[in-house]
Amino acid sequence: MARIQGALVSLACSSLLGACSESEPARRWLELRQVRPQDRLGVYLNERLVLHFSEPLEPESVHGGSVRVLAPDGSTARGRLSVEGDRIEFQPAPVLAPDLGDGGFRPSTRYTVELTGFPRADGLRSQSGLWLGSNLRWSFETVAVTEPRSGFVFEDSSPTSGSPVILRSTVIRPLEPIRLTCEEPIDPSTLRSEDFELVQEAASPAQGRTRGDVIPLVARLVRNDERQPYKDDAAVIELTPRDRLLTPGSYGLSVKRNVRLRDFGGHPLWVLNQSYREVLKLRVEPATAEEDRSLARHVESFVETRTRSTQAVPDAAGAAYWSGNGRVEVLFPAAAGRGSDGDVVLAGVWARDELHAATLTVPAGTTAFLESPGTVVLRSQGRLEIAGALRERRTALPVGAAPPSTVQDVEQELRTRLGGRRPTVSEVLEALRAAGVRATVLVAGADLVISGRIELETPLVLIAGGRVRLSDERQLQVGGLHFLDAGTRLLGFQDTRESGAASVLASPADWGIDPPSSNPLVRPLKLALYSSSIPPEGGAVRWRSTPTVNLRAGAGAARVLYVGEHAPNAGARVPDVVVDDPAALVDCPTVRLLVELEVFPGPVWDPPFVDDVTLEYEPLGPKRER
């Protein structure tokens, strides 16, 4: 500080303006007289910078260009500049995050203060017109934060005791947070969500139960200003139910006895209600029907296939059909069969050329051998999974026998017979069998999953109403591959056999998947899929309740759920959560749609579909509609 003041005093005869002659009067300048804090190490995260000058300042000369507080990366520290008489103050932005890293000053950071003076036209000057003689620059370093704490990190304006935290919102709407206030700021690192719980009062005297389930809460500091006279909300805490929408009724707010909440001086803060009673009760009233004009809208019409996800839904038999025709629907091949053989676990030798399973599995660690010399069709109404090995023991062709027809030969002949029309899967399979083509056909009404190996000298045909899922092309060693599914097509790859046979490129089958004429199901079939993240750019602060969903259940059921994608918490990945109303989501800037379709056994085939979904949300950025 002495060096700065000495430099300012000598500015009257600075070489910047040329030496002063004895005949010329000394030129006067605005001088910086004092800087607080004087200690440049360990500056608190909320500590003000106070600059005292020799004369009252011209307020218009105090701005972000004439007074700058710079971080090491060159960015400007967030905060508020104010001027009063001969004093400039910089108040750093308040700290709200538990890691203390979102305030105007970050912990253990060296900041540089720059003051602009003569000859800059926008430099600091006094009300009498005196300029700061030259640019000034100095640095300070903020306090380090350690765990456990070894000292204070905030300047405390109430060093003797802590103030009570008061429950202000005793009546709220389902989408409103619970608000707690305090007349002094709170150390954000001591606010823990797990210290608060909400319990709904469930009056059930007959069962001896008067308390409902415990509802976990997300605690967030939304204001943390300095204490001001006659102001009781310097700090504001919002408690929001985690991924749950509150229903109207009475609730009790439970606060742990050993709550860790502290003020800037480390003093405990106790949570009370406005009448200072121990019981913290509140009531949730029904929401109003007022329309929120600030909301943005996203309409998912299922026209753009790039916004669908290829991720499998865990509890579904397979993927629903999102083809870009404006619907998510069921694509069930009639060729998936009657399901009359029930759940089949295939292992050992299989001599038949036909199978009608409800589900079909080749378990891991087992091998199934196909012996039938012609076309073998293995059908499954639901999921079909090859986790073990599928091989063949077909009788070799007699020496000199004419080569049998191929799948391509039969398809071409069938197209000619149909006048060029694209054949259906059922028509192709019937033609293959009639021609005696040596081939293996796997048909799944849902997903067809190959996690094991298929080794065949003959061609392989894969048909799925869901998706053909193959993790590695080397799992297939076949004499040709044809496939058709409801989702992302397999990429073409070459035959990897080492038998010396010619390599064959995988061929997407250009056949139509024909639906059944009547309901063949022996048990319910559930198909589902995810969308990609919504909104596709930006994000949402909150989601509005009850999206608009246009669907048709038919002879089944259809519903749309919402997968909340949480924002990272202190760098940690928070698991996704599935809810039936996105308004229940907290800290989820994006969601994914989970569309579930279920078809039931019955007299008619009338599968469900979802036409479109409209979500409304408060955007992080400017309002937009997609």
Taking a C-beta distance cutoff of 8 angstroms, is the pair 177, 236 a contact? no
Tokens in use for 239?
Answer: 């408690």
8 A C-beta contact, residue 135 and residue 116: yes
Q: Averaged over 513-537, what is the pLDDT?
A: 93
Query: Residue 194 has what DSSP assignment?
Result: G
Q: Are residues 349 and 491 in the same domain?
A: yes
The answer to whether residue 625 is domain-embedded is no
344 lies in the same domain as 457: yes
Let me know if residue 50 belongs to a domain.
yes
Looking at the structure, do residues 494 and 442 belong to the same domain, yes or no?
A: yes
- Which residues span the domain enclosing 355? 334-508
* Distance (Å, whole) CA 551 – CA 444: 25
CA dist., res. 446 & res. 461, Å (int): 16
pLDDT at 252 over 70: yes
- Written as one letter, the residue type at 363 is P
User: Which comes out higher in pLDDT, residue 20 or 612?
Assistant: 612
Q: Is 8 helix (H, G, I), strand (E, B) or coil?
A: helix
Domain-ending residue, one of 86, 107, 142: 142
Contacting residues for 514 by C-beta, under 8 A, at least 6 apart: 333, 334, 335, 424, 425, 426, 427
Whether 246 and 338 map to the same domain: the answer is no
The rounded distance, in Å, linking the Cα atoms of 82 and 531 is 49
Q: Please tell me the pTM assigned to this model.
A: 0.65
Same domain, 503 and 356: yes
Asked if the structure places residue 158 within a domain, the reply is no
Same domain for 526 and 437:
no
Structural domain contains residue 81: yes
Q: Let me know if residue 80 belongs to a domain.
A: yes
Q: Find the CATH number of the domain harbouring 31.
A: 2.60.40.3780
Structural domain contains residue 159: no
- Same-domain pairing of 437 and 540: no
The average pLDDT across 575-581 equals 89
128 and 221 co-located in one domain: no
Q: Does 303 fall in a domain?
A: yes
Q: At what angle do helices 425-435 and 407-417 cross, to 10 degrees?
A: 120
Q: Which of 21-25, 192-196, 367-371 has the lowest mean pLDDT?
A: 21-25
Peptide bond just before 37 cis, omega within 30 deg: yes
- Please choose, from the candidates 144, 69, 139, the residue with its C-alpha nearest in 3D space to the C-alpha of residue 108: 144
CATH number, domain containing residue 191: 2.60.40.1220
Cis peptide before 535 (omega within 30 of 0): yes
Domain total of the chain: 4
Same domain, 448 and 355: yes
In a domain, 154, yes or no: no
Burial class of residue 334, CB neighbours in 10 A (0-12, 13-18, 19+): buried
Contact of 449 with 385, CB cutoff 8 Å: yes
Helix (H, G, I), strand (E, B) or coil at 621: coil
Tell me, what's the pLDDT at 143?
Answer: 95
> Does 268 share its domain with 309?
no
pLDDT exceeds cutoff 90 at 168: no
Give pLDDT tens digits for 203-250: 555 545 556 678 888 888 989 998 887 778 899 999 988 777 788 899
